[in-house]
Amino acid sequence: MIEAERTVQTIKNLLKKARDPYRALLADGATPMSNGYSPAQLLMGRRLRTSVPTLSENLRPSLPDRVRIRHKEGEQRQMDHSVWNITAFWLWF
């Protein structure tokens, strides 16, 4: 739930500051997440063409490695649990 609220806050700030809201949303959707893939790459199976120069071979369709994504998500989940457990433990004292 916190991630969704933070995402909404980030998008609102992005749209307030951007000259061109469409380019801002494109850049946000093309930015890689903690698992190494961008939301657009997970959705479409390829990187999006943005104003940032990139090699044309990077724009070719390729399927994301699901094993790598699951592994990264599992690592992140374990990290979140350990941080939350430490914080919750100290709230009792």
| 44-92 confidence digits (pLDDT tens) | 888 888 877 777 777 777 777 888 888 888 888 888 888 777 766 666 6
- Retrieve residue 49's tokens: 């063409």
- A 10 A CB-CB count for 41 gives 20
Which candidate, 45, 2, 54, 4, places its Cα nearest to that of 27? Answer: 54
pLDDT band for position 17 (cuts 50, 70, 90): very high
Domain boundaries, the chain: 2-91
- The residue assigned the tokens 């749209």 is 15
The DSSP output letter for 3 is H
pLDDT at 9: 93
Q: Is the pLDDT of residue 93 over 70?
A: no
Lowest mean pLDDT among 9-18, 22-31, 80-89: 80-89
How confident is the model at residue 12, as a pLDDT? 93
Phi-psi region of 67 (alpha: psi -120 to 50; beta: other; left: phi over 0): alpha
